[in-house]
Amino acid sequence: MSPAKLQEWFPWTQSPIISNGPMMGVVNPKLAAEVTKAGGLGFLPCVFDIAPNSEHLSTLTTNLKESRSILGLNPSDTLNLGISFLTGHGSITNFSETIIPIVAEYRPAAVWLFAPNEDVKPHGAIIQALKKLDHSPRVFVQVGNVAAARAAVRDGADVLVCQGIDAGGHQFRRGMGVVSFVPEAKAMLEEEFAGREVGVFAAGGIVNGKGVAAAMALGAGGVVMGTRFTVARESTYPDFRKEIVLKAVDGGSSTFKSPFNDEINNSALFDTLWGTHYDGRSIITSIHEKFLAGSTLQELQKSLKEDYSSEESMRLINTWAGTGVGLVNTALPAGEIVKEVREDAKETIRNLAAQL
| pLDDT on residue 255 | 98
In this model, does residue 71 exceed pLDDT 80?
A: yes
| pLDDT on residue 167 | 98
Catalytic residue annotation = 170
| pLDDT on residue 323 | 98
Question: If one looks up domain 3-241+323-354 in CATH, what number appears?
Answer: 3.20.20.70
Are 3 and 202 contacting, i.e. CB atoms less than 8 angstroms apart?
Answer: no
1 in helix, strand or coil?
coil
| pLDDT on residue 28 | 98
Averaged pLDDT, 199-208: 98
User: Would the CA dihedral through 47, 52, 55, 58 be positive or negative?
Assistant: positive
Tell me the C-alpha distance between 207 and 143, whole Å: 19
User: By percentage, how much of the chain surpasses pLDDT 70?
Assistant: 100
136 in helix, strand or coil?
coil
Q: How confident is the model at residue 271 (pLDDT cuts 50, 70, 90)?
A: confident
Tell me the C-alpha distance between 35 and 41, whole Å: 6
Question: In Å, what is the CA distance from 253 to each residue of 63, 282, 288, 342?
Answer: 36, 11, 12, 28
| pLDDT on residue 156 | 98
Tell me the C-alpha distance between 112 and 89, whole Å: 15
Tell me the C-alpha distance between 75 and 69, whole Å: 10
Are 240 and 318 contacting, i.e. CB atoms less than 8 angstroms apart?
Answer: no
What is the CB-side half-sphere exposure of residue 130 using CA atoms within 13 A? 26
Q: What's this model's pTM, rounded to 2 decimal places?
A: 0.97
Contacts (Cβ under 8 Å, ≥6 apart) of 51 = 57, 91, 94, 98
In this model, does residue 2 exceed pLDDT 80?
A: no
Chain segment 211-246, per-residue pLDDT in tens: 999 999 999 999 999 999 999 999 999 999 999 999
Which DSSP helix (H) or strand (E) runs through 84?
strand 79-86
Give the single-character DSSP code of 41: B
Are 123 and 152 contacting, i.e. CB atoms less than 8 angstroms apart?
Answer: yes
Chain segment 102-138, per-residue pLDDT in tens: 999 999 999 999 999 878 899 999 999 999 999 999 9
Averaged pLDDT, 269-284: 90
Tell me whether residue 276 is exposed, middle or buried, using C-beta atoms within 10 angstroms of its C-beta: 0 to 12, 13 to 18, 19 or more.
Answer: exposed
| pLDDT on residue 224 | 98
| pLDDT on residue 270 | 78
Mean pLDDT of the chain: 96
CA 105 to chain centre: 24
In this model, does residue 266 exceed pLDDT 90?
A: no
